[in-house]
Each structure stands twice: as C-alpha cells, then as structure tokens.
Amino acid sequence: MSYLRVNLVDFESRQNRDDSLDRLNRTAGEMFPDIEMMLGIATGDKSCMTVSVYADKEKASKAIDQRDKHFSDLGGMELAVAFEGDLKAFYKKEHITSES
C-alpha cells in the first residue's frame, strides 16, 4: 500500500520558497531516490505544501533525512508540520489523446 507524507513549510522569503520548489521540480527524483510522486504548491508568499508518495512507510521514513538535507542545503526554511499515513483514496483521470 502506498504511503504519503504532506509537508507544510514556512520560508524566510518568497525567493527561498521559489528556490526550494524549483529545486524539487528539477531534482526530486535524485534527492529522494525512493519517491514515486511529488506534488508541490505555493500556499502563500512564504509558504508551500508538498505531497510525497512512497511505496511503503519504510521508504518514506528514509526520505526524512533526505528532506532535512534539502532544508539544510538551501537554508531559509522551516518545517511547520508534517502529516503521513497510508493512502486511502486515489483517483487519476486518464487523458485521451489522438495522433496528429
């Protein structure tokens, strides 16, 4: 069963927030080798929320040290709160495309 972690993060500046989200967008797979999916949203001028999906709790637990290293490398951010647990609901709309 997939395991999720939701992080709410506060930043010293909007630039810190943008730098962090940009780095995650470009290198999440390298920073978190066991991650299966990550979504990030700017929730305010100096805050964001990420949702990370892992195969299981063990792999999600390994990512905590990797997350803390990301915080340390960039600086200017602080974890406000984290939630985690087993995935209980999931929906993904399939996109229909045609050859052009």
pTM score: 0.84
Count of CB atoms situated within 10 Å of the CB of 60: 21
HSE of 84 in the Cβ direction (CA atoms, 13 Å)? 18
Q: What residue segments make up the domains of the chain, in order of their start? A: 3-85
Encode pLDDT of 44-81 as tens digits: 999 999 999 999 999 999 999 888 888 888 889 899 99
Of residues 40, 89, 83, 41, the one with CA closest to residue 60: 83
25 versus 70: the higher-pLDDT residue is 25
CATH of domain 3-85: 3.30.70.100
